[in-house]
Structure 1
Amino acid sequence: MNHLQAITEILLMSFALGMDALSLSIGIGLGKIDRKTALQLCFSIGMFHVILTFAGLVFGNLVGYYLGALAQWFGALLLMGLGAHMLYSSLFGKEEAVKPIGNLFAMTLFSASVSLDALSVGFSLGLRSTAYGVVSALSFGCISMVLCAIGLFIGKRFSRSVGRYGEILGAIVLVGCGIKFLL
């Protein structure tokens, strides 16, 4: 495989993995999120993509076989719970900002669930060279950070025009993505 082909393959995988971050971040952006939290979320998602890819490289197919279904269920339930919380806060909470990623624990869980697919990709990257795996992991992290930022930006812009209905729509998007993960 030549270098251009390898770079193209890595970039395509990076964008494919980052699309979850993009779509879910649009849902988060529809709620109220400040700039500092948005930057922390982008960084957290990028770091989890790198860390979980490396974990996949290290632990290989055995762990992936046993944790694959569990990770999918965990991610789905987490997204549905986050969406349900956001929906409840939008409908029954005070008029103040709904913060779906309001604390470090929620942000960490959200980032890990968005990045779980990087773990399984890391398992398959273990069959390639170490350099290929390292470059892939770093690319996954950078691209997912950028796509998360784009998603938050799109969500925030859309939220301004639809207000509270945007928060409800964002919550429904998160619950829907969780259900999709289960199916």
Structure 2
Amino acid sequence: MPHLFTSGTEQNRFGDSGGSVFLWSAMAIADLMVLGVIVGSNNLAVSFALGAMNTGKYHARILVTFGLFEFFVPLAGLLIGRYFSQLIESYATALGAALLMALGLFAVGKSLMARDQSQQLSRQITSYRGIFWLALGVSLDNLIVGFSLGLKDVPALLLAGVIAFFSVCFAFVGLKAGRYLSRRSRTITEVSAGVLLIMLAVAIYLGWF
């Protein structure tokens, strides 16, 4: 298993000499940044939907929870190992897609509700329990990411940190964009966010994303 700060290859390279320097090539850094953008972008659509639901006072809670899950889930995938990762891969993908689909349908349905009902449902989905399950569903695929990259020359903590960083950045943009647009047209924004989530769920389930 790779060390948390250095990859297995680098440990072998520097272990005999007692060195501890880990050097990243420009290509490796670029690849890691691209990975962070791809994985973290999952949070954009979800956060856009949440932002459209008048959840402004819960943004900090959402960002912290998403960041923690996106950091620790890849590490969990690395620790679980190859056998269990392959075993749960199909379930993780299906469950993540199902949760995104549910949130998408929720966003569309919420746009048709009365204001009081809409606000009550928003409070439920942004409760600690609601955000916990939502963040878990969004980050489940990172179990597989953590394992697959753990076999390569990627330091685990660096991998998790990059994924978490980009995930929080995308979540922040999504929350603010959803909130901004919902102030101009709440119904259109919520329906658009819901449809986007449903499309994302289908794409993930079919392996297109």
TM-score (norm 1): 0.88
Aligned counterpart, 1:21? 43
**Distance (whole Å) between structure 2 residues aligned to residue 126 and residue 102 of structure 1:** 33
Tell me if structure 1 keeps the 8 A contact 2:70–2:167.
yes
Partner of 1:173: 196
Q: Is the 8 A contact 2:104 2:196 kept in 1?
A: yes
Distance 1:88 1:23 in 2: 17
Counterpart of 1:78 in structure 2: which amino acid? L
For 1:61, the equivalent position in structure 2 comes to 82
Shift of residue 79, structure 1, vs aligned partner: 1.5
Secondary structure class of the residue paired with 2:94 = helix
Determine if contact 1:54/1:122 at 8 Å carries over to the other structure.
yes
Of 34, 55, 59, the match for 1:33: 55
Tell me the residue number matched to 2:14.
Answer: none
Q: Is the CA contact 1:60–1:126 (under 8 Å) kept in the aligned structure 2?
A: no
Shift of 1:137: 0.7
Structure-2 residue corresponding to 1:182: 205
Q: Distance in 2 between matches of 1:82 and 1:173?
A: 10
Structure 2 CA distance for aligned equivalents of residues 162 and 92 of structure 1: 15
1:156 is paired with a residue whose SS is helix
Structure 1: runs of 5+ lacking an equivalent: none
| Percent of residue pairs bearing the same amino acid type | 25
Residue 123 of structure 1 deviates from its aligned partner by 0.7
Q: Which amino acid in 2 is paired with 1:150? A: V
What TM-score do you get using the length of structure 2 for normalisation?
0.78
**Could you tell me how far apart the structure 1 residues matched to 2:162 and 2:156 are?**
10
Shift of 1:167: 1.7
Q: Of 93, 96, 103, which residue of structure 2 is paired with 1:72? A: 93
Alpha-carbon contact 1:76-1:178 (below 8 Å) kept: yes
Q: How does 1:1-183 map to 2 (within 5 A)?
A: 3=24, 4-35=26-57, 37-95=58-116, 97=119, 99=122, 101-129=125-153, 132-183=155-206
Contact preservation (8 Å) 1:31, 1:170: no
- Residue type at the aligned position of 1:181: I
Work out the number of aligned pairs and report it.
Answer: 181
Deviation at 1:56, TM superposition (A): 1.2
Cα distance per residue 1:132-159 (max 9 Å; x no partner): 1211111111221111101111111222
